[in-house]
Structure 1
Amino acid sequence: MNQIPVKDITPRNSQSKATVETYDLYAKREHIYVKFYKGLFRNLRMISGFVMLAAYFGFSWLQWDGHQAVLFDLPNRQFHVFGMTFWPQDFMLLSFLLIILSFVLFLVTAVAGRLWCGYACPQFVWTWFFIWAERITEGDRNQRMKRDKAPWNAEKLARKTIKHLLWLLIAVATAVAFVGYFSPIRELVPSLFSWNLGPWETWWLGFFALATYGNAGWLREQVCIYMCPYARFQSVMFDPDTLVISYDEKRGEHRGKRKKGVDYKAQGLGDCIDCGNCVHVCPVGIDIRDGLQHECVACGACIDACDDVMDRMGYERGLVRYTTEHALEGKPTKLLRPRLVVYALLLGGMLAAFAYTIATRIPLEVDVLRDRGPLFTQTSDGKLENSYTLKLANKAQQDHRFEISVSGLDGLTLVTDAQLHIAAGELADVALRLQADPAVMLRANYTIIFHVRALDDPSISQDAESRFLGPAPRR
């Protein structure tokens, strides 16, 4: 059976021709010089990268009802997201969202492999950004290789300095945008330029700028190969009908140089001219012709490079392409598979439930606590009295005036003020006293309901249950 070959490319060094091979687990990293190229998948990756960068750098500057549209206010324990305010009590919604995103990743991986890595992973979006900065300052692949081997001179020092300054500028801008989601960015940027930052902002700006500079500028593919767990467990989500980037060995072998227009088939050669462009454009430095490897991030760079060579040679495109194991074997590819159906059904159900929860979410939290001390007291006019504390959280981004009422026992009256004003995002503690006539109490306790509603928006209302206690009735 013709399967997609998998090659182990772990650095190794043979002690002798007849002895066992040894593995060097601490092999020195070989710098990867990525060659510039053009093509369909590069354009798709640039579009997805531009969308992600625009969203990342732009969302923190958007305003919504006079507030920052996306702000994670940790000191006040409030997350503001496009007009909605989430509190620590809403942590289950975050957990639910993370589960949904995990299933999206599972579904996409089962259908088309590591598309997330190649087109949307922040590590690679920023890595390509840094590669672009490297190319415009030091030139394309061959120029960079030649310059790195050459001795230091004024031009080399200037180009290297400009490159690293550009990297640092991108890293600092990235850090400012990140911290701007936790500290209001319209206050953060002026404070940065006036050197008036607090210790918290200073620490995270420095840390995140250094992490971006190191990960995208120096580590690059090492993060994906050695630090990211996704490459390790993705194989459990693959099947013979999963789209992967593969080299068509039947069509490409044997490899060899040839002149355009020569009958290379008569010489026993395949379509691969062994130019190495698929390797030179690969951001992780693998040779796709060696088979499917866990380092591959499915960015499609090798497809674009190979298609360009095929066009210039007058050969059919697709020597390197997105395909499936079944397609390589000449079998039909099944789009609807049990695994995909289960993923899709679960994902659809979770998305519907999450959307319903968000749509029907009421921006008001009500908790009732009975005051510690006597279970009940008796007033001078013979009434029974219970004391409570209501904790009200206005989760909306607007101020509201609320009215409190109570039900569950005939003649139950609210002694304290039944109306109060709560500012947006404020948590208020309200002391309440309830009184009831002992004559209506036929048992020692009754279930009562506190009703809290906004006077300016009747759709904002919540109920909370408690107990009203009195003496045990005489028999």
Structure 2
Amino acid sequence: MSNEIPVKQVDPSPDPSGKGSKPETVELYASRKKIYVKEVKGLFQRIRTVSLMVLMSMYFLFVWLTLDGNPLIHFDLPAREFHLYGVTFYPKDFFLLSGMLIICAFGLFFITTLFGRVWCGYTCPQTVWTFIFMWVEERIEGSRNKRMKLDKAPNSKEKIFKKSAKHAVWLFIALMTGLTFVGYFYPIRELIADLFTFQANGWAYFWVAFFTIATYLNAGWMREQVCLYMCPYARFQSVMFDPNTRIVSYDPNRGEPRGGRRKDVKPEDVGLGDCIDCGQCVHVCPTGIDIRDGLQYECIGCALCIDACDEIMDKMNYPRGLIRYTTENELEGKPSKLLRPRTFGYGAVLTAMITAIIFVIATRVPAQMDALRDRGALFSFNGQGNIENSYTLKIANMSEVPQTFNLSVQGLDGIRILTQTQVTVDSGENRSLPTVVDVPPESIPQSNNEIIFHAQSETDASLKLETESRFVGPTR
């Protein structure tokens, strides 16, 4: 199927030739044009470098850290245990994960209403890895102009060597990224040993290969295409913008009309604005847009155009800030408000969610007990003439150490546990314990009675568990 359609000129003015208008062919899909990003130095590039180093250090270092002999962060899917900074979570704690995801979402909304897409520009994984790959490209192939000449040049030993070296380094970074990511699910020390001795299972090799290839393609080849066409945030970000949102903007009141001039010529002497139309803001943009065209969804708020423009303004002895973080109201000469109803709304929800999650985690008991009554038989009489009920006690130990519990039961006079009254539960274990309870017949006031099972930990005196159940006897 062709991707071209004929478009006919419908201009009402007559055609002087008398032959009529000729259909014009328009491409529906334009092929990607490679963006050659120019390296720039400045305040915002230094901020990004620091954030990149911090994030990369955390990502590659935390997978190696241990606490009490266990990985600091370990998502143990086969055991259904998630170890985070010394705390173990289980599938029943899924609501905590949901709460954390909601916190992340509202945190993103809150920041976006204030400062636009700063998340995309400084901390998004796609941005972080793309800038690492671009840095490698610049170190090996050279500046923007050199890279453009190299791509246009015919194949040579130098070109093949530089291209091969670049892709080799990219693949190495991608491999380290894939190994590290899988290392959060498969302890990294065991993973590396098992991979290179061919002892790991097939899924480990698959996922390492998958994330290696994904990183290599996304950061090395697709780059801005991920931001422009794959990232949903680029599409709905404008919903959170308003005239008071501080974003990267070009000041047309100061910059227009554009035009080149010598350094010693003042703008007002030639009837021009401060913009000398040098195009540096376009050359440094990782998504290839012109910020002077106004707000565009392709802008990731990286502020490289600010650094580039400020450098030119310094050379021209003009004030900085032709391109800057500003608001629509400020550009129109109106007052701008940092705090407004939308900001308070997102901030209130964010604060409430963080408070709730902290409270739940702080008051979370590292063990749980449930009593399931045997429904196969309502009750029975034992050799002592007492009435028996059977239960299954389920004790889950969510702490990092084994726990020994002493079991007891209350709720009726003379009630006691006939079976095992002490049980040891390993860390992360869910222990099922068959339990039989009896009560003298005269102590049963009605056919269905409430009782309470207790479990007191010998390992941790502050750890006390209890759960309610029912004791069934004959009808009176």
Structure 1 unaligned segments of length 5 or more: list them: 1-11
Residue number in structure 2 paired with 1:76: 79
Matching of residues 73-472 of structure 1 within 5 Å:
73-472=76-475
CA shift at 1:13, angstroms?
A: 11
Q: Tell me the TM-score normalised to structure 1 length.
A: 0.94
In structure 1, C-alpha distance between the alignment counterparts of 2:113 and 2:268, rounded to whole Å: 37
Give per-residue Cα distances to partners, 1:12-53, cap 9 Å, x unaligned.
998659489987442100101110000111111111111111
Please tell me the residue identity of whatever aligns with 2:65. Answer: L
In structure 2, C-alpha distance between the alignment counterparts of 1:280 and 1:459, rounded to whole Å: 63
Give per-residue Cα distances to partners, 1:393-434, cap 9 Å, x unaligned.
111111111121211111110111211111111111111110
In structure 2, C-alpha distance between the alignment counterparts of 1:437 and 1:285, rounded to whole Å: 84
Please tell me the residue identity of whatever aligns with 2:235. Answer: R
Secondary structure of 1:240 counterpart: coil
Residue number in structure 2 paired with 1:60: 63
Residue number in structure 2 paired with 1:4: none
Please tell me the residue identity of whatever aligns with 2:320. Answer: R
Residue number in structure 2 paired with 1:9: none
In structure 2, C-alpha distance between the alignment counterparts of 1:289 and 1:21, rounded to whole Å: 30
Secondary structure of 2:278 counterpart: coil
Secondary structure of 1:128 counterpart: helix
In structure 1, C-alpha distance between the alignment counterparts of 2:462 and 2:229, rounded to whole Å: 52
Secondary structure of 2:419 counterpart: coil
Structure 2 unaligned segments of length 5 or more: list them: 12-20
Residue number in structure 1 paired with 2:16: none
Please tell me the residue identity of whatever aligns with 2:47. Answer: L
In structure 1, C-alpha distance between the alignment counterparts of 2:198 and 2:414, rounded to whole Å: 63
Cα 1:408–1:25, aligned 2, differ >3 Å: closer, same or farther? Answer: farther
Please tell me the residue identity of whatever aligns with 1:111. Answer: L
Secondary structure of 1:36 counterpart: coil
CA shift at 1:459, angstroms?
A: 2.2
CA shift at 1:311, angstroms?
A: 0.6
CA shift at 1:77, angstroms?
A: 0.3
Secondary structure of 2:461 counterpart: strand
Secondary structure of 2:449 counterpart: strand
Please tell me the residue identity of whatever aligns with 2:31. Answer: K
In structure 1, C-alpha distance between the alignment counterparts of 2:397 and 2:24, rounded to whole Å: 67
Please tell me the residue identity of whatever aligns with 2:80. Answer: R
CA shift at 1:361, angstroms?
A: 0.7
Cα 1:84–1:445, aligned 2, differ >3 Å: closer, same or farther? Answer: same
Secondary structure of 1:471 counterpart: coil
CA shift at 1:452, angstroms?
A: 1.8
CA shift at 1:369, angstroms?
A: 1.2
In structure 2, C-alpha distance between the alignment counterparts of 1:26 and 1:211, rounded to whole Å: 24
Residue number in structure 2 paired with 1:28: 31
Give per-residue Cα distances to partners, 1:46-85, cap 9 Å, x unaligned.
1111111111111111111111010000000000011100
Secondary structure of 1:457 counterpart: coil
Secondary structure of 2:287 counterpart: coil
Higher alpha-carbon deviation: 163-172 or 443-452: 443-452
Please tell me the residue identity of whatever aligns with 1:390. Answer: L
CA shift at 1:461, angstroms?
A: 2.3
Give per-residue Cα distances to partners, 1:108-145, cap 9 Å, x unaligned.
00000001110111011000011111111111111100
Secondary structure of 2:462 counterpart: strand
Give per-residue Cα distances to partners, 1:195-239, cap 9 Å, x unaligned.
332111001001111111111111111111111110111111111
Secondary structure of 2:97 counterpart: helix
In structure 2, C-alpha distance between the alignment counterparts of 1:314 and 1:332, rounded to whole Å: 28
Paired residues of 1:246 and 1:320 also in contact (CA < 8 A): yes
Secondary structure of 1:200 counterpart: helix
CA shift at 1:98, angstroms?
A: 0.6
Please tell me the residue identity of whatever aligns with 2:150. Answer: R
Higher relative contact order (CA 8 A, sep 6+): 1
Secondary structure of 2:109 counterpart: helix
Cα 1:382–1:70, aligned 2, differ >3 Å: closer, same or farther? Answer: same
Higher alpha-carbon deviation: 193-202 or 430-439: 193-202
Alpha-carbon RMSD across the aligned residues, in angstroms, is 1.8
Cα 1:142–1:153, aligned 2, differ >3 Å: closer, same or farther? Answer: same
Paired residues of 1:106 and 1:343 also in contact (CA < 8 A): yes
CA shift at 1:263, angstroms?
A: 2.9
CA shift at 1:351, angstroms?
A: 1.0
Paired residues of 1:13 and 1:24 also in contact (CA < 8 A): no
Please tell me the residue identity of whatever aligns with 1:98. Answer: L
Secondary structure of 2:388 counterpart: strand
In structure 1, C-alpha distance between the alignment counterparts of 2:7 and 2:266, rounded to whole Å: 40
CA shift at 1:440, angstroms?
A: 0.9
Secondary structure of 1:207 counterpart: helix
In structure 1, C-alpha distance between the alignment counterparts of 2:251 and 2:449, rounded to whole Å: 77
Give per-residue Cα distances to partners, 1:299-356, cap 9 Å, x unaligned.
0000000001101111100000000000001011111201111211221121111111
% of aligned pairs identical?
53
Paired residues of 1:409 and 1:448 also in contact (CA < 8 A): yes
In structure 1, C-alpha distance between the alignment counterparts of 2:26 and 2:186, rounded to whole Å: 48
